[in-house]
Amino acid sequence: MLATVPVWARGFDATFMMPAPFPLRLIPRRSPPFFTALAISVVSLAAAVGLRALLLGPENATGLSATTFPALIVATLYAGPRWGWATLGAALVAGIYAPLVTAVGISNTAVIAMFAVSAALTVIVSSSLREALLRLDEANAAQAVAQKTMEATEARFRALADSAPILMWVTRTDGRREFANQAYIDFLGPDHDALDFDWRKVLHPDDLPRILQEQVAGEASRKLFSLEARFRRNDGEYRWVRSVSQPRWSGGGAFDGFVGVGYDVSDAKRAEDDLKRINDLLAERVQDALAERDEAEAALQRAQKLEAVGQLTGGVAHDFNNLLTVVIGALDMMQRHPTDAARRERMIEAAQGAARRGERLTQQLLAFSRRQALKPEPVQVDALLKDSEALLRRAVGEAVSLVIAPSAPQAVVNLDPSQFEAAIMNLVVNARDATPAGGMIRIETLPVSLADRQVEALDAGDYLCVAVHDTGAGMDAATIGRAFEPFFTTKPPGRGTGLGLSQVYGFTRQSGGTAVVDSAPGKGSSVCLYLPRIADDAAVRVADTAPAAVEDGPRLRVLLVEDDAQVSELVEALLSDLGHVVQTAEHADAALVLLRAGEPFDLMLTDLIMPGDKSGVDLAREAVALRPDLPVILSSGYTGDVLLAAEHTPWPLLRKPYGSQQLAQTITDVIQVAQKK
């Protein structure tokens, strides 16, 4: 609790000289006026003449003698050196004409010379004495003024220190206080000696160890330091006091102790605590508000999901009702006319076509939700577009021209060829519907290298841009913002489901890229698919759409695990038609009972999702544990997390819906792998 104090605040030890004696105080500090000086010189010389006349008689009054020296001294001291010399000259002139009293054998000239020398020395000594006395008197006067100034300054400092509302003190090198102001005294109370009081007696016990340590370190450093602690005031209340102490140094640079100030910060500490409580309360309320906001956002998301589910349900129901109408109508016609072979064939083709359309619709939904299990492989996109050109031209028709301009023959992309073809077909059909007769659709490819986030949601890297441009009516910003939403369409009712662009977006995002729409009203539209490229020397092939012929295989005993009775009946029929013997089980536990019983099975075909606590993957693991050489085929029409887990198993996955050809091919592949093992 300390800082520097002026010298005048330390006390005074100076000893002042006593005033000069009375005759000396009459010596003027400056030469007196001419007539005053003349009077002093005349009077002093007259006194000397009168004294000689009294002693030696009037006839010898002006003679040269020792009585002249006091006159010279007085004239020099009180009138000034010049008048001392003038008095000496007057005495010599007067003495020449007066008779001299001399010793026998001494000439008058020698006496006059001796007198002149002695008188001159008297004047010189008196002048020096006068100068010394004047300087001494001036020094005493200056010291007296300094004393009064110092006393006045100290009085002002004490008045200022005592009027200050903060504690002030000064310590010596040994730590003892030599000064304390009135606020300091008032804080302790009148019953304590402020200079000798031990502050540890009023320091709060909880602060004592810390303050002692900090004070010792601060004083040892001989640098400015501060302390903050609770001290008990004279009324018994503990108050927070913050002190600042700094060293003070003598004129010679020696350490003289510390000077310090202390001020009450209790109100500030209380305000700080209040502010902290307010901040804590505010943080709690903000947390509550954020929780409420999150809850509201979750509720909004649930509502939006419900709305999306409603849109999804309506759209899917509409499309599937159309497909089921074809299937049910075809079956009804076959049932009513069983003998009409030509009609039966047409109805079978119509039903199969409707079923395939339903399969494609399901794939579009899964692609939009990004849950479709893709089969990516290295593909040269330019070659794939060339192979698809004929199909795309048939989809466009004659009214609109189609230009395919691939310009990336070496670009290789890892993607699912069938899903890519479906995405391009969707874009082309959308472009055809938006383009008036005589317009043009252009498909082009371009290898690009993007910087980080140059295109939204894409990292830096090499991509292939597949763009579909049209010269149609274009879209405004609001339409572009909703272009990839499921079931959003600008087409009239009955002309589209709104799943085309959403399927495209889901496919590109699953493939590691993104889709971007660039359009403006009246200026056509461009949809660009950015797909990440892989090394040019990667194995490239275009998907072969023609199914391979399956040779007749061995007759197998198959364990079919399927909980859906109709699906189980159909698959059993397919397997029987392929020449296999089938044993069915409705769930995993029933299948495990048959396996543990020792039934001789050559193959197990199991669904992924079944009732109970075991999935198809769980069943496969336990079955292989019981029979390590048992081949297993997994099957599912669901593409959720269970399917994602199935893709990391050693068993092949047969996706529903499937036909006899796909089933036979999968069985052949599995048996060949098992035979190699």
- Three-state SS sequence of 241-290: EEEEEEEEECCCCCEEEEEEEEEECHHHHHHHHHHHHHHHHHHHHHHHHH
Please tell me the least confidently modeled range out of 71-80, 377-386, 558-567: 71-80
pLDDT for 9 equals 36
| Confidence band for 65, pLDDT divided at 50, 70 and 90 | confident
Say which residue, 566 or 580, is predicted with more confidence: 580
Please tell me the least confidently modeled range out of 254-258, 592-596, 654-658: 654-658
Q: Could you tell me which of 69, 165, 153 has the C-alpha nearest to residue 119?
A: 69
| Confidence band for 191, pLDDT divided at 50, 70 and 90 | confident
Q: Could you tell me which of 517, 524, 522 has the C-alpha nearest to residue 470?
A: 524
Helix spans in 578-659 (H): 588-596, 616-626, 641-646
| Confidence band for 560, pLDDT divided at 50, 70 and 90 | very high
pLDDT for 25 equals 56
pLDDT for 478 equals 74
| Confidence band for 206, pLDDT divided at 50, 70 and 90 | very high
57 pLDDT higher than 80: no
CA distance 671 to 677: 10
395 pLDDT higher than 70: yes
pLDDT for 187 equals 87
DSSP 437-474: TT-EEEEEEEEEEE-TTSSTT--SEEEEEEEEEE-S--
pLDDT for 541 equals 43
pTM, two decimals, is 0.39
Helix count and strand count (H, E) for the chain: 18, 17
260 pLDDT higher than 50: yes
| Confidence band for 264, pLDDT divided at 50, 70 and 90 | confident
Cβ neighbors of 395 (< 8 A, separation 6 or more) are 425, 428, 429, 432
pLDDT in tens, 508-524: 888 888 888 888 888 88
Structure tokens at 300: 């909004």
- Alpha-carbon dihedral of residues 651, 657, 661, 663, nearest 10 degrees? 30
Structure tokens at 50: 């009168």
- Long-range contacts (CB closer than 8 Å, 24 or more residues apart) made by 513-516: 513/458, 513/463, 514/455, 514/456, 514/457, 514/458, 515/484, 516/455, 516/456
Q: Strands of 581-585's sheet, edge to edge?
A: 581-585, 557-561, 603-607, 632-636, 653-655
| Confidence band for 631, pLDDT divided at 50, 70 and 90 | very high
User: Distance of alpha carbon 225 from its chain centroid, rounded?
Assistant: 32
Cβ neighbors of 652 (< 8 A, separation 6 or more) are 633, 634, 666, 669, 670
Query: Do the beta carbons of residue 8 and residue 150 sit within 8 Å?
Result: yes
Q: Is residue 321 classed as helix, strand or coil in its secondary structure?
A: helix
479 pLDDT higher than 90: no
In one-letter notation, the amino acid at residue 162 is D
Task: Determine the average pLDDT of the residues in 224-239.
Answer: 90
Q: Is residue 212 classed as helix, strand or coil in its secondary structure?
A: helix
In one-letter notation, the amino acid at residue 459 is D
| Confidence band for 546, pLDDT divided at 50, 70 and 90 | very low
Beta bridge partners of 230: 240
In 3-state terms the chain splits into helix, strand, coil percentages (rounded to 5) of 50, 15, 30
CA-only gyration radius of the chain, Å: 61
pLDDT in tens, 100-115: 555 445 666 776 777 7
pLDDT for 2 equals 35
pLDDT in tens, 424-458: 888 888 888 888 888 899 999 999 888 876 777 78
pLDDT for 557 equals 93
Query: Do the beta carbons of residue 617 and residue 647 sit within 8 Å?
Result: no
pLDDT for 154 equals 75
Rounded to 5 degrees, what angle do the CA atoms 301, 363, 434 make?
85
pLDDT for 640 equals 55
The percent of residues in the chain predicted with pLDDT above 90, rounded, is 11
Task: Determine the average pLDDT of the residues in 190-202.
Answer: 81
19 pLDDT higher than 70: no
pLDDT in tens, 587-620: 999 999 999 998 889 999 999 888 888 888 889 9
pLDDT for 622 equals 92
Give the Å distances, CA to CA, from 177 to 171, 199, 256: 4, 11, 12
CA count, 13 A, side-chain hemisphere, 533: 24
Consecutive H or E run containing 200: none
CA distance 8 to 503: 93
Please tell me the least confidently modeled range out of 144-148, 200-204, 314-318, 338-342: 314-318
pLDDT for 14 equals 34
| Confidence band for 78, pLDDT divided at 50, 70 and 90 | confident
pLDDT for 592 equals 92
Structure tokens at 542: 């275009």
Structure tokens at 81: 């050196």
Task: Determine the average pLDDT of the residues in 233-258.
Answer: 88
